[in-house]
Amino acid sequence: MADSTVFRASTTAPVNIAVIKYWGKRDATLNLPTNSSLSVTLSQRSLRTVTTASCSASYPASEGDTLTLNGSLQDISSSKRTLACLASLRVLRNELESANPSLPALSTYPLRIVSENNFPTAAGLASSAAGFAALVRAIANLYELPQSPTELSRIARQGSGSACRSLQGGYVAWRSGTKEDGSDSIAEEIAPASHWPEMRALILVVSAEKKDVPSTEGMQTTVKTSPLFATRAERIVPGRMTAIETAIHNRDFPAFADLTMRDSNNFHACCLDSEPPIFYLNDVSRAAIRLVNDINHVAGKTVAAYTFDAGPNAVIYYLDDVSEIVAGTFKAILGEGLDGWEGPFGDRLKGVSAGADLQKLDSRAIEALKHGISRVILTGVGEGPEKVDTHLVSETGAILKSGQ
Amino acid sequence: MADSTVFRASTTAPVNIAVIKYWGKRDATLNLPTNSSLSVTLSQRSLRTVTTASCSASYPASEGDTLTLNGSLQDISSSKRTLACLASLRVLRNELESANPSLPALSTYPLRIVSENNFPTAAGLASSAAGFAALVRAIANLYELPQSPTELSRIARQGSGSACRSLQGGYVAWRSGTKEDGSDSIAEEIAPASHWPEMRALILVVSAEKKDVPSTEGMQTTVKTSPLFATRAERIVPGRMTAIETAIHNRDFPAFADLTMRDSNNFHACCLDSEPPIFYLNDVSRAAIRLVNDINHVAGKTVAAYTFDAGPNAVIYYLDDVSEIVAGTFKAILGEGLDGWEGPFGDRLKGVSAGADLQKLDSRAIEALKHGISRVILTGVGEGPEKVDTHLVSETGAILKSGQ
């Protein structure tokens, strides 16, 4: 009779938002990128995924590995990316078991994985990075793997490219690498959150529009059809990677901001140069860009930087000490009533209802933003995955609700 | 006492819309471009400038040269571009007079120039190309200059770069040239309108929005700040020029269309890659792009091509025999009541109220277009400047109204 012990491990994982963008794969199966990228890990006090990995000899083999995401069972049998992660982690566990036969043979047990995001899917935030980071981290914990976050990033990358950057906190570089097997395509923390803890991120969530081109599909289109793209990947990004790492080491916000904005525009330019053209920025995004530029102009220095992923939402980076002129201005435009001004980073803005003189900002951009933003998320740089003791699977293997 | 004879010559000149775009100057004074470009001259039955150039020894020298545009006197003393054109034309006239002293000394007389556009400035169409082409052509006629349109294009180019392409009809290439003095930066007709007379252009005029970045300023910003731009100018456009000339010679619409759309996107990508980013396309423009792609998809072949200049208006090229599925579809979306469906090219669409099945087109794009287009202009490829006998200056030198 099978041992009924249920082995469990749980972790949180953060979202990350790139400042030097990942766009384009040199190998679609291994998720190897055409260029390096760099991101800021966002605080899990605002946005996080919680995942419990469990396994047991008592789980019916007929069910195989299962993944329940936000309460609904996923069909992972058709998800090559998930299967690749699970297989790689099992290989590592199996190595441990082979070296030490006294260990329980967890690599042979079915996995029961339960994952929940604390942010609404309606927010339009790519949850796959946090999701795959949490999945890999939770199973690595369950399997008691000795590998470092950087070593595990090779595995998370196969789930979702940008997931490899969510295994660490602070400021994280994903090196594209050059090897065909992807072994040097890994993420490394170039500075912890504590190095530059004042970094804030204000996410302006654009009211739901039509569905965007999925990023994997968009990347393939760009790589195949954009005659400008090779210049970006080969000649522009490498210098920007070096420059932004220097800016982060020196805590040089104007340089960081300048590179961030230029790289966002450069990435979206390559999308537009694709055939058919890919548009992620809409008129509301354009208004946000205009207002960030206007705020910097009014401030007389670069105090804010916009960046856009594969969607219209603006992410605006700034430092805590300029909260009033940056976040305060957006709060004055969007209204205190909008969802999202409260929360872990909200105290700093309590009572702040105006930043820059709105008369000095583009009035059409203000109108476009007022009508086009459905909520904000006020957050900042944060830590990597954290082990937690609150499991989403019971001691007997039952799936629990997180109660979030 | 001065001779009171008033010498007069009048001409029309057309608008042209580039399919390989001019963006970027290698010399801002001489208007020398960073890359060659190619345009379609649009019919003057729809859009034209009429200009009368006159001169007389009886015109008061104290007034100097004057230009009256759409009824209002312009201050040309501050327009270096206009002054450069007038000076170059006087030099050529002076050469004639030196060689043949019996000629009246027109080069020494003040010029009185009157110009009118038949299209509303509200249409947001760049009128400077037609305007400078008409000015140069009218004065060249007045001065009885022997120079060919290609030779005169050197002069018109100094007024407005794209004006050099409006001196000829049909399909016109502007060679960037390599010489510092610009003597090889000239326009030449690569095919007359009669070579491919079926070419049509449907202009969707986007409801007035905020003023765009002026193109001269935008070009400078792009050349200075976009790291992608050199790739466009040096490595992408040259091949496209060759390819589109071949497509025109072969009357190969799918190839012509493909290059046209890609080059429009490539140009706007370089605008977006500028710092600060320049946006000419808005959500209505995006909707037009989407619908052109959808119409091509429904048609099962490439029957329409969009292109956008430095503004949100869409210009859609197609051939007469697919009028129903292209223009007919837009007419069905925008409604017959919209201004612009009548006119010289309107007969073809009489009674046509539907093209492609609207159910097969993106519904959000249809909505965006319905609300964002203020008028259309239905036109086609046409001839170059034409000499006319209806003058805007009387025999005694009085400024007349054209009565258009």
Q: What is the DSSP string of A261-326?
A: HHHHHHHHHHHHTSSS------HHHHHHHHHHHHHHHHHTS--EEEE--SSS-EEEEEEGGGHIII
CB contact under 8 Å between B262 and A275, yes or no, is yes
Question: With an 8 Å Cβ cutoff, is A231 touching chain B?
Answer: yes
CB contact under 8 Å between A227 and B235, yes or no, is yes
Q: How many CA atoms lie within 13 A of B188 on its CB side?
A: 10
Separation CA A35–CA A135 (nearest Å): 25
Separation CA B55–CA B8 (nearest Å): 7
Residue indicated by tokens 């270096």:
B80
Q: What is the pLDDT of residue A404?
A: 43
Closest CA to A8 of A399, A394, A385: A394
In this prediction the ipTM stands at 0.92
Q: How far is A314 from chain B (nearest CA, A)?
A: 15
Q: What angle do CA A23, A27, A29 make, to 5 degrees?
A: 110
Instruction: Please tell me if the domain spanning B6-193 has the same topology as the one spanning B199-380.
Output: no
Confidence of residue B401 (pLDDT cuts 50, 70, 90): confident
The set of residues, in sequence order, having a beta carbon less than 8 Å from that of B79 and lying 6+ positions away, is none
What is the per-residue pLDDT across B4-61, written as a single tens digit (0 to 9) for each? 899 999 999 999 999 999 999 999 999 999 999 999 999 999 999 999 999 999 999 9
Q: How far is B242 from chain A (nearest CA, A)?
A: 16
Q: What angle do CA A243, A261, A382 make, to 5 degrees?
A: 75
Closest CA to B380 of B326, B337, B312: B326
Q: What is the pLDDT of residue B212?
A: 75
E strand or H helix that includes residue B92: helix B80-99
Q: What is the pLDDT of residue B404?
A: 43
What's the DSSP call for residue B372?
A: H
Residue B47 near residue B125, CB atoms below 8 Å? yes
Long-range own/partner contacts, residues B297-302 (CB < 8 A, 24 or more apart) = B297/B360, B298/B325, B298/B356, B298/B357, B298/B360, B298/B361, B299/B325, B299/B356, B301/B254, B302/B253, B302/B254, B302/B257, B302/B258
Question: φ, ψ for residue B209 (rounded to 5)?
Answer: -120, -160
Q: Taking CA atoms, what residue in A is nearest to B237?
A: A227
Q: Helices B215-225 and B253-272 sit at what angle, rounded to 10 degrees? A: 80
Separation CA B116–CA B402 (nearest Å): 8
Q: How many angstroms separate the first and last alpha carbons of chain B? A: 37
CATH dotted code for A199-380: 3.30.70.890
Q: Sign of the C-alpha dihedral, residues A372, A374, A377, A378?
A: positive
The structure tokens listed for B165 are 């392409």
- The amino acid that residue B339 corresponds to is D
Q: How far is A286 from chain B (nearest CA, A)?
A: 8
Measure CB to CB from residue B266 to each of A266, A273, A282 and give the nearest one. Answer: A273
Helical H segments across B105-214, by residue range: 128-142, 149-159
Measure CB to CB from residue B227 to each of A236, A273, A364 and give the nearest one. Answer: A236
Q: What is the pLDDT of residue B353?
A: 67
Question: φ, ψ for residue A389 (rounded to 5)?
Answer: -105, 0
Q: How far is B304 from chain A (nearest CA, A)?
A: 14
Architecture of the structural domain at A7-193: 2-Layer Sandwich (3.30)
Residue indicated by tokens 């379609």:
B40
Question: With an 8 Å Cβ cutoff, is B298 touching chain A?
Answer: no
Provide, as residue numbers in chain B, all residues whose Cβ is less than 8 Å from the Cβ of A273. Answer: 265-266, 269
The structure tokens listed for A52 are 């419990």
Q: What angle do CA B389, B395, B397 make, to 5 degrees?
A: 115
Closest CA to B238 of B176, B153, B190: B176
Question: φ, ψ for residue A376 (rounded to 5)?
Answer: -125, 160
Separation CA A47–CA A378 (nearest Å): 10
**SS3 assignment, position B307:** strand
DSSP-assigned letters across all residues of A43-83: PTTTSEEEEEEEE-TTS-GGG-SEEEETTEEE-GGG-HHHH
The structure tokens listed for B115 are 């110009």
DSSP-assigned letters across all residues of A130-191: HHHHHHHHHHHHHTT----HHHHHHHHHHH-GGGGGGGS-SEEEE-----TT-TT--EEEEE
Omega of the bond prior to B276 within 30 degrees of 0, cis? yes
Q: Count of CB atoms within 10 A of residue B397's CB? A: 16
Separation CA A321–CA A301 (nearest Å): 14
Measure CB to CB from residue B266 to each of A227, A261, A362 and give the nearest one. Answer: A227
Closest CA to A288 of A162, A204, A189, A393: A204
The structure tokens listed for A319 are 């430092």
Separation CA A111–CA A55 (nearest Å): 5
Question: With an 8 Å Cβ cutoff, is B265 touching chain A?
Answer: yes
Residue B382 near residue B42, CB atoms below 8 Å? yes
Question: φ, ψ for residue A12 (rounded to 5)?
Answer: -105, 165
What is the per-residue pLDDT across B111-159, written as a single tens digit (0 to 9) for each? 999 999 987 665 567 678 999 999 999 999 999 999 999 999 999 999 9
Provide, as residue numbers in chain B, all residues whose Cβ is less than 8 Å from the Cβ of A269. Answer: 226, 228, 269-270, 272-273
Q: How many CA atoms lie within 13 A of A54 on its CB side?
A: 26
Q: What is the pLDDT of residue B210?
A: 59
Question: With an 8 Å Cβ cutoff, is B228 touching chain A?
Answer: yes
In DSSP terms, which residues pair with A115 in a beta bridge? A51, A69
Provide, as residue numbers in chain A, all residues whose Cβ is less than 8 Å from the Cβ of B232. Answer: 228
Measure CB to CB from residue B282 to each of A210, A275, A283 and give the nearest one. Answer: A283
Mean pLDDT of chain B: 94
Q: Count of CB atoms within 10 A of residue B389's CB? A: 7
The structure tokens listed for A164 are 């490899």
CA distances from A31 to A49, A138, A181, B349 (A): 22, 21, 11, 51
Omega of the bond prior to A14 within 30 degrees of 0, cis? no
Q: Which residues of chain A have pLDDT under 50?
A: 1, 404
Confidence of residue B352 (pLDDT cuts 50, 70, 90): confident
Architecture of the structural domain at B6-193: 2-Layer Sandwich (3.30)
Q: What angle do CA A224, A227, A233 make, to 5 degrees?
A: 80
- The amino acid that residue A243 corresponds to is A
CA distances from B398 to A341, A370, B241, B391 (A): 68, 54, 46, 10
Q: How far is A300 from chain B (nearest CA, A)?
A: 15
Q: Sign of the C-alpha dihedral, residues B184, B190, B192, B197?
A: negative
Q: How many CA atoms lie within 13 A of A232 on its CB side?
A: 31
What is the per-residue pLDDT across A56-101, written as a single tens digit (0 to 9) for each? 999 999 999 999 999 999 999 999 999 999 999 999 999 999 999 9
Separation CA A309–CA B195 (nearest Å): 46
Residue A13 near residue A43, CB atoms below 8 Å? no
CB contact under 8 Å between B268 and A266, yes or no, is no
Confidence of residue B403 (pLDDT cuts 50, 70, 90): low
Domain boundaries, given as residue ranges, for chain A: 7-193, 199-380
Residue A43 near residue A172, CB atoms below 8 Å? no
